[in-house]
Structure formats: structure tokens, C-alpha cells
A = this chain, B = another copy of it.
């Protein structure tokens, strides 16, 4: 034995990891919430709501955009950011799949673990 299975990682695992990574920073979670509540939309507004500089907020937006969770439309001199429904549909799906695989606490109590 000893040699690896070289299983690499599933496509779903990689995508889920990318989404999770995008949400893996409090500022980005906060941005998502602000956009979800429509309390802010334009980059400048987000900067006012967050304890971060403009360039830092812009970078976080870039990462959220790269993960497909956010999209930005140019609106004159400013940019309006919104959540990307398609990306969130994928996120919902993948997170749901994972949570479905993880046995809930009840099942865990019923069936004893392997140890």
C-alpha cells in the first residue's frame, strides 16, 4: 500500500470550496448581507458602511465577483453591485448537498459513531 489514491478532488468539491473561500472573510459576509438587504449597492456606499478603505472594498468585491456571487453593472461614473442569482443558486445547491450528507445531530445520537 502506501501510495496515494490520487483521488484528486471532485469538481463539486472545488466549486464549493471556492464559494466557501469567498465567504471566508467577515468583510465579504458583511458585503453580501448589505447587498442582500439592498441597504447599499454602489461601491462608495459600501465603503461608508465598512471599516475598510476603498481599495480594500474593491478587492473584496472583485473576489466575490470571481466566485460568481456578485455582479457589477456600470452605471455612469459609478458601479452598481448586486448579488448574482445564478451564483447563489449554485451556492444554495452545493451547500445544501453538503449539509444533506452531514447527518443531523439526531441521527448522530441514534447511530453511534464509528468510535
Q: Which residues of A contact B (CB under 8 A)?
A: 1, 4-10, 13-14, 16-18, 20-30, 32-33, 36-38, 41, 47-52, 73, 75, 80, 82-83, 85-86, 88-89, 91-92, 95, 98-99, 101-105, 108-109, 113-115
Tell me which residues across on chain B come within 8 A of A29, comparing CB atoms: 9, 13, 16-17, 20, 98
Copies of this chain, whole number: 2
Tell me which residues across on chain B come within 8 A of A30, comparing CB atoms: 7, 9-10, 13
Given A105-B88, A108-B85, A24–B17 Cβ distance below 8 Å?
yes
Q: Is there an interface contact between A115 and B75, defined as CB atoms closer than 8 Å? A: yes
Given A99-B92, A102-B88, A115–B82 Cβ distance below 8 Å?
yes
